[in-house]
Amino acid sequence: MITVSLPNQPRMRELLAAFAQEEQELEFVASDLIMIKFIDNATGDQLDILGEYVGEDRNGRLDVPYRAAIKLRGKLNASNGEPETIIEYARQLTTAIDVTFVELYPGKVLLQIVSNNPVTPAILALIQKISPAGVAINIEFVQEGDIFGFDGEGVFPAAANIAGFGEEGVGNESVGGKFMEEL
């Protein structure tokens, strides 16, 4: 900040004070205009404009979920089907507890998604859309909590929360998944 010492001239001081006040108001407005362009600060119509930029429709969503969808769409637009992007997208769409990405030869991917939320055909279609060209995504949904199962069969690995039989004498007696559930 520059300090200027003026002789005792009240009119000059009043004039400079008026200009300084107007300049400060312009700086506040300019700062606000810059800040609303940041997705974390945008609301309402500003979010709609940002959504148009990245190709994400609001579809009746409130600001917070719409903001998250815009951020994700921006990442997807910039990605080339990297495993990390696919995992993040699947995790957000399904509110998954765990997502495991397994490459299967040739040109296939297995996504094991551990979640308690129901998955609709629309969500499945969205996950399939993020697949890179020529790569099929097989999706396996598993409920949260250990469930009974055997180690992977063929080229498919076991799901993230599969627990088989525990064996006495080898230290894994407590291992084991739910074999049956009473309905």
Task: Give the integer Cα–Cα distance in Å for 81 and 138.
Answer: 15
Interval 30-36 mean pLDDT: 67
Render pLDDT for 96-150 as a digit per residue (tens, 0 to 9): 888 888 888 788 888 888 888 777 888 888 787 777 778 888 888 777 665 555 5
Report the SS3 class of residue 18: helix
Q: Which helix (H) or strand (E) holds 160?
A: none
Task: Determine the Cα–Cα distance for residues 113 and 91; give it in Å rounded to an integer.
Answer: 8
Tell me the domain boundaries of the chain. Answer: 14-78, 81-183
Q: Are strands 147-148 and 162-163 parallel, antiparallel or unpaired?
A: parallel
DSSP state of 96: -
Class of domain 81-183: alpha beta
* pTM over the 0.85 mark: no
